[in-house]
Amino acid sequence: MAEKLALALGYKCLSRDILLEASERYNIPEIKLIRAIHDAPSILERFTYNKEQYVAYIRAALLWHAQKDNLVYHGLAGHFLLQGIPHVLKVRILAGLEDRVQEEMKRENISADEARRILQKDDEELQGSCFQTTPEAQKLVDELSLAAQVESALVQEFPSIKVEAQGGEVFIYVKRSMWDDEDLMARIKRLAASVAGLEIQVNLRMLPK
């Protein structure tokens, strides 16, 4: 259904491709990326931050495609990886139109024709402006993708960091215990600024207690 929808809309359709890209780009076996999404962290992972690293890699790969817009994604954890983007429509497919018609008839005590008309009207409203990409929404996706690319470059060595991007600047939040280590702070800034193809202003901030 996702592939047919993408074809009808003229959008790109992605699923497992994201995992394969992340696996190849960061040299992580695909099965480990899948488990990072599906499984609770093991005791060892709670100390090594592997789950956070793998999720960061998947998010970076997906947001890189989301920046280009017009995308149908039906892979793992799309609702989580793309949260906070206003024009993303999250769909959970439960039944075909005729099954929906039957349910609508029972729920509203109406005829099949009336139920079908209501459902078709609801479906048409999904084309509304709230699901269209605005310049503001595109800017948000660009910033989320930038933060994800920087985080993916840092997360293996500095798993506790948090990264945000706004207005062409990147803000990296580090633990209080790291803040006074000038060499460490300089290394984080260099790694962040070296993300391929990006000319960015990097700012370091301390994580709140």
Supply the mean pLDDT for the chain.
Answer: 83
Q: Which two tokens stand for residue 90?
A: 């999250």
* pTM of full prediction above 0.85: no
115: pLDDT strictly greater than 70: yes
| Cβ within 8 Å of residue 78, ≥6 positions away | 62, 90
Handedness of CA 20, 163, 199, 180 (dihedral sign): negative
At residue 44, the pLDDT reads 47
For residue 148, which of 161, 167, 132 has the smallest C-alpha distance?
Answer: 161
Pick the residue with more confidence: 156 or 50? Answer: 156
166: pLDDT strictly greater than 60: yes
Residue-wise pLDDT for 178-197, tens only, equals 888 999 999 998 888 888 56
Residue-wise pLDDT for 17-33, tens only, equals 898 898 898 888 888 88
